[in-house]
Structure 1
Amino acid sequence: MASNDKQSDTTHFGFQQVPAAEKAARVGQVFRSVAGKYDLMNDLMSMGLHRLWKRQAINIANIRRGQRILDLASGTGDLARLMARKVGPQGKVILSDINEAMLNRGRARLVDDGVVGNVDFVIANAEYLPFPDNYFDRVTIAFGLRNVTRKEVALAEMRRVIKPGGCVIVLEFSQLYLKPLQPLYDLYSFQVLPRMGQLVADDADSYRYLAESIRMHPDQEGLKGLMEEAGLEDCEYFNLSGGVVAVHRGYKY
């Protein structure tokens, strides 16, 4: 989270402290670098579990036909593809990402899968959403919030654009609660993952950043608190895979 001290307005980029104004550009470079191998690396890194995690997040979102949904940090469109089928032709899913390379890849994947007609694409910063108040039934963000510079601002924006009765769904890496597995998890995160990134994507540094960004992200209770501070209500979370990831849900009334 960015400091409120204007003389030291810094934030974390992985384990580094960088000027807050630079973080978005640095994150953008990471995802431009990995875009071409992003889906393959997701499968390898999670041993395919990310697909189950995303389906569970969609189940928790309780999506219905005809709804209007904003998918932030949509990337290559995994959530959006599934949600577009759930909302049907009368609904709409808007895929939004700050990174044009990732969004273009998502558009191409959806076209290849025949998902057209009820999807749109918008390049946008989650901290400054170009949508009116009370516009969406759901806002989702999967594995993207930890890369946002001012998470509290982005969460407040998500609340602003959902309708009363709507909810925000955040799927994100979290805090492993099976503590005996922590050393093995750390070994995988900081040794295996960067080497895998080097071998498959020719980019160890980006995957080292991804591992570090997970450790710097708030844990389950911390993120729940941020959502409540943003004005979301009935906030709760659902741990998956021992807390490696968690799905957070908060409502607007």
Structure 2
Amino acid sequence: PEGSKVQSMFSGIAGRYDLLNHVLSGGVDFYWWWRMAKASGAKPGLRFLDVAAGTGDSSLALAKRGAEVVSTDFTHAMLRLGPAKFAKKRLDRLIFASADADAQKLPFVDACFDGLTICYGIRNVERREAAYAEFLRVLKPGGKLTILEFSTPVVPGLRALYTWYSLKVLPRIGGWLSGDRSAYDYLPESIRMFPKQQDLAAELEAAGFRQVKWTNLTGGIVALHTGVKTDISTEEMMRAISDQSPFPLVWEEVPAKEERVFKTILPSFGETVEMFLSADQIDVVQDRKTLFVCEISDCPEGSKTGLVACCVEWLKRFRETSTELFR
């Protein structure tokens, strides 16, 4: 739908929006918020952007985990209800209500958020591909996108029941409580037209997100989708490094704490390579589970015989110095 129509529709139901969510979901929405916040990786020290935050329940769920949250929405009538809720929960010190923001044109600088969430909002975005591009722009490298959205039930019996409920019951109750039947006629239709789980995942991958996954909640009535901004995949980075080497390179993934990793570095590499593997740095890298070990084969006698880099961001740094190393 056009942006102005979305704004008008949500402005009309803002005052009863929370009540309607709780009633129409049977109270399960509280569980969905909790699962979203957990999946997002929110924790103290991280800054999140909550797009389409509505009246702020999603922002509250993130702040309860200690994250700093910028709460923003396209509809001012929804957004203005959040601050009082944040203060009541004594979480207003962690949540900052931003000016109205369109997901397709976010008013934030590049690479400024550790995580970005959007709950029940991407379905209402007119051009999703534009929103995905904006999400990638404002996320830091390694930043995580978390989408919570109504989806397609995967349990046959539940699917039939949910279809009946969303078409016959939900519009009547929603219209009666909100005074706007059209908004709750729109809801099931927008869900019906929205991509299925695997199709939305494909959209995210096509947009440039990596490590894309989804989890069905309550039988698929809603689904959690996550993706990571890596700028370039690990495989692409390894290939780029290999292309710069005059020697054949063989990559291997090994556990980050495995001692033999450190033995692959010869003193001849010096600080240039060792900076990628010093013990204190291993503890602060984004992905602590895997190191990428590159063995150089068929080297002339006396040449360097092994080198190591870990994680995509470190591989990027390594790529910048690899040309010099291979001279």
- TM-score normalised by length of structure 2: 0.68
Does 2:86 correspond to 1:110? yes
**Counterpart residue type for residue 105 of structure 1:** L
- Paired with 1:56 and 1:92, the residues of 2 have a C-alpha distance of 18
1:181 positional shift: 2.8
Larger relative contact order, structure 1 or 2 (CA cutoff 8 Å, min sep 6): 1
1:25 corresponding residue in structure 2: 4
2:120 is aligned, of 102, 123, 143, to 143
Pairing 1:55–2:55 present? no
1:130 is displaced (CA, Å) by 1.0
- 1:224 matched residue in structure 2: 201
Please provide the CA RMSD for this pair. Answer: 1.2
8 Å contact 2:175–2:183 — kept in the other structure?
no
AA matched with 2:41: N
Deviation at 1:186, TM superposition (A): 1.5
Larger Rg: 2
Distance in structure 1 (CA, Å) of the matches to 2:160 and 2:43:
41
Give the superposition deviation at 1:184: 1.9
- Asked whether the equivalents of residues 49 and 69 of structure 2 are also in contact (C-alpha less than 8 Å), the reply is yes
Shift in Å at residue 160 of structure 1?
1.2
Of residues 18, 21, 26, the one that matches 1:42 is 21
Q: How many residues are matched? A: 229
Q: How does 1:78-89 map to 2 (within 5 A)?
A: 78-87=57-66
Deviation digits for residues 17-57 of structure 1 (CA, Å, limit 9, x no counterpart): xxxxxx11111111011101100100111101111011011
Out of 46, 56, 72, the residue aligned to residue 77 of structure 1 is 56
Deviation at 1:118, TM superposition (A): 2.4
8 Å Cα contact 2:83-2:92 kept in structure 1: no
* Gaps in structure 2 of 5+ consecutive residues: 231-327
Q: What percent identity do the matched residue pairs reach?
A: 40
**Match of residue 195 from structure 1:** 172
In the alignment, what sits opposite 2:156? Answer: 179
What is the Cα deviation at residue 179 of structure 1?
1.9
Greater mean alpha carbon deviation, residues 142-151 or residues 75-84: 75-84
The residue correspondences of 1:84-163 to structure 2 (distance < 5 A) are 84-87=63-66, 92-122=68-98, 123-163=100-140
SS where residue 75 of structure 1 aligns? coil
SS at match of 1:238: strand
Relative to the length of structure 1, the TM-score reads 0.87
* Counterpart residue type for residue 79 of structure 1: S
Aligned match for 1:236, one of 191, 213, 217: 213
For 1:62 and 1:92, the matched residues in 2 are separated by 12
Return the alpha-carbon distance in structure 1 between the equivalents of residues 38 and 65 of structure 2: 10
